[in-house]
Amino acid sequence: MMRCPYCGEYESKVVDTRSVDEGESVRRRRECLQCNKQFTTFEIIEGIPLYVIKKDGRKQLFNRNKIMEGLIRAGGKRQIAMQTFQNIVEEVEREIRSSDVQEITSKEIGHRVLEKLLQIDDVAYVRYASVFHQYRDIEAFKEALEQVVYSRGCGS
């Protein structure tokens, strides 16, 4: 049973069901039987736990929402659709899970995200990279900008 996010009622009916993520999950549109408002739920196949090794050595369960939050911060006020960010998160997670690893470093995840973000928006890429790489000074940041310009073929 799914609880209505509006009124807290547990009774709802499914009004639409669609397969998403190439059959990896199911999107259900539900209608609350108490307040009649609609909401969406997702069912995802439960896989083998994936752990992220942080910079300080701690291990945490993989949380796709953390990637999404970082992308939203980096792409703030840019003309990037939320679906584009969702696609990046799904691609990164699919790549990691298909590699049959149970542990991955946060650094590797960050590199995968940056690789995809560079193809979409230069400014969002630089914003994400500035947090991810934690540039110590303006020179390091300038070098990163030059790499973006060079990768776009805009260098002199």
Tens of pLDDT along the chain (156 residues) come to 789 999 999 999 999 999 887 777 899 999 999 999 999 998 877 778 899 999 999 999 999 999 999 999 999 889 999 999 999 999 999 999 888 899 999 999 999 999 999 899 988 998 898 888 888 888 888 887 887 787 776 654
Residue 61 belongs to domain spanning: 51-151
Q: Are residues 89 and 110 in the same domain?
A: yes
Using CA atoms, how far apart are residues 146 and 56, in angstroms rounded to an integer? Answer: 29
What is the distance between the terminal CA atoms of the chain, rounded to a whole angstrom? 60
* Domain co-membership, 106 together with 133: yes
Residue 5 lies in a domain: no
Q: Is residue 4 part of a domain?
A: no
Q: Please give the Cα distance from 30 to 4 (Å, whole number).
A: 9
- Contact at 8 Å (CB) between 99 and 127? no
Q: Could you tell me which of 99, 156, 89, 155 has the C-alpha nearest to residue 120?
A: 89
Residues 100 and 125 occupy one common structural domain: yes
User: What is the chain's Cα-based Rg?
Assistant: 19
Asked whether residue 6 is assigned to any structural domain, the reply reads no
Q: For 48, which DSSP code?
A: S
